[in-house]
């Protein structure tokens, strides 16, 4: 179960790590589009866009459907709840660490001010 969740996070974050793929998701959030239309709008070869769409499909973020000669892309049904939970857990962890660091810095400043010659 844990390994499956780690694999899912790896796949999702890998898919989201590329600006073109994030751009594709933004476009598909507005409307479904064909792979050829996406390729044109990103000034990219059809083969290159197919690879990007494939990565998004493997992550469950995009679904494609072939109708005749046209492959249409739409947002996948999978949400990013697991990824958001992971990010939130680590945000809280880092916030607590920075709060502790702020406390230490504050104590050091007070000590420095107390030790400073008048």
Predicted structure pTM score: 0.76
Average pLDDT of every residue of the chain: 91
Domain ranges of the chain: 2-75, 79-118
Residue pair 45/56 in contact (Cβ under 8 Å)? The answer is: no
In tens, the pLDDT along 57-106 reads 999 999 999 989 999 999 998 888 888 998 999 999 999 999 999 999 99
User: What are the residue ranges of helices labelled H in 31-80?
Assistant: 35-41, 46-58
Topology, domain 2-75: Arc Repressor Mutant, subunit A (1.10.10)
Contact 20, 42 (CB under 8 A): yes
Residue 97 CB-half CA count within 13 A: 6
Q: Round to whole Å and give the CA distance between 105 and 111.
A: 10
Encode pLDDT of 24-71 as tens digits.
Answer: 999 999 999 999 999 999 999 999 999 999 999 999 999 999 989 999
Comparing 116 with 31, which gets the higher pLDDT? 31
Q: Given this model, what pLDDT does residue 1 score?
A: 55
- Beta pairing class for 62-67 and 33-34: unpaired
């Amino acid at each position: 179960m844990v390994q499956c969740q780690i694999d899912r996070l790896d796949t999702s974050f890998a898919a989201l790590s590329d600006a073109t793929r994030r751009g594709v998701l933004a476009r598909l959030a507005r409307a479904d589009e064909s792979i050829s239309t996406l390729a044109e709008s990103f000034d990219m070869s059809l083969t290159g866009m197919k690879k990007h769409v494939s990565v998004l499909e493997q992550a469950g973020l995009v679904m494609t459907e072939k109708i005749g000669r046209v492959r249409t892309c739409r947002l996948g049904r999978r949400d990013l709840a697991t990824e958001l939970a992971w990010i939130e857990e680590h945000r809280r962890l880092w916030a607590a660490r920075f709060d502790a660091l702020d406390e230490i810095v504050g104590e050091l400043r007070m000590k420095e001010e107390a030790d400073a010659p008048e």
